[in-house]
Structure 1
């Protein structure tokens, strides 16, 4: 069933931005706030969230299921619905060393897995639930020097596809999307990401759900 156009706006929707303190997270929070969303900016350190353009901020270890469950329960008590989870938690280490894999896994995959499991039913109950992650163009051409990183980004993409499949099977007006970028420090990349995230609620869920959207900044 297609949500009415009025239900696919951002006005007063509760959107959680994970990794809000990073360059991409800050831009996305600003774009969502400008569009009328109630933005919940989440990060692992209070100082990283200073001056983020959001209705509220929260310091949460998104890799800790107990901490995430407690935070989500408190959010549900205050907001009538949770309509979006934008996972922008960053992290980069090259190579294939075990320690680097563990460091990246916690940030790239575990935070996504824990947060999305906790909020999955909330997003499914929304009249226009949206989940999005940012992946890397390097996943399509993996190299040994980036083995850990591309492996975990690929796993994150697979997790999102599984979420998309579950929502599709239930017939809910919910969508899980993967944005693919080269690097956020490329000219225009952050602005393109912010605009794409804010536009998620203006596109029908059937068109979005499971989509792999390449964001290629103009040079």
Structure 2
């Protein structure tokens, strides 16, 4: 990446603390950053917190037509997207297997799976064509040890991880088919939980053991662009301590 030609990075789920932290880290590292949220006021406020150069956008990422329109608008305004950092998710739990509700499953599937499918399908060609394309999602250590109480949550996260690994294979096949070196990578960033400064201030009695600070998540995302794609593609990178 050069300062004369910064990479375009789309941060989805940009309204929350992790979106603000990741967008800020990317903007400070010299990237051209666009953040996406579902609410105009929230995403505008989050982008302002992230930095003057961050552009807020509104899109329903669970709607394929809306995501397609988003790509068209970005292409017209900024050109190809070089990276998508997908931070959309959500949490729902239960007591066990029998009380895993359909409503919770629909919420988790929509947030964790449908949005990943839509964003990756729409932006895949952009990322594959970039010399430094990156696609990343954030997953949970809970996937490694599913419990009855977290069944719907871990199933949705596991599906999102599998889709991302399939995307990594697609990026490899695309590069090989064109006879070029792999320049793009799809990865899963794994955390136990995320914590931010406001949470620490609100709960000074808590130590948040094993949690990853959103600032550290931002730094980890920036490092993805400093690591060769062949070393990243298809990897599950654990940030949890």
Q: TM-score, normalized by length of structure 1?
A: 0.91
Q: Unaligned regions of 5+ residues in structure 1, if any?
A: 1-5
- Provide the residue aligned with 1:39 in structure 2: 33
Distance in 2, Cα, partners of 1:10 & 1:119: 23
Cα separation, 1, equivalents of 2:225 and 2:4: 6
Structure of greater relative contact order (alpha carbons < 8 Å, 6+ residues apart):
1
Q: Distance in 2 between matches of 1:51 and 1:139?
A: 29
Task: Measure how far apart 1:11 and its partner are.
Answer: 5.9
Distance 1:76 1:124 in 2: 15
CA deviation vs aligned residue, 1:113-155 (integer Å, no higher than 9, x gap): 1011000000001111000000000000000100000000000
Displacement of 1:55 in angstroms is: 2.5
Q: Which runs of 5+ in 2 are unaligned?
A: 95-99, 176-181, 196-207
**CA distances 1:44-78 after superposition (whole Å, capped 9, x unpaired):** 11122114225311010001111111111111112
The 5 A counterparts of 1:5-154 are 12-49=6-43, 50-52=45-47, 53=50, 54-95=53-94, 96-154=100-158
Which region of structure 1 is more displaced relative to structure 2, 66-75 or 174-183? 66-75
Please tell me the root mean square deviation across aligned C-alpha atoms, in Å: 1.7
Report the Cα distance in structure 2 between the residues aligned to 1:141 and 1:10, rounded to whole angstroms.
46
Asked whether the equivalents of residues 22 and 90 of structure 1 are also in contact (C-alpha less than 8 Å), the reply is no
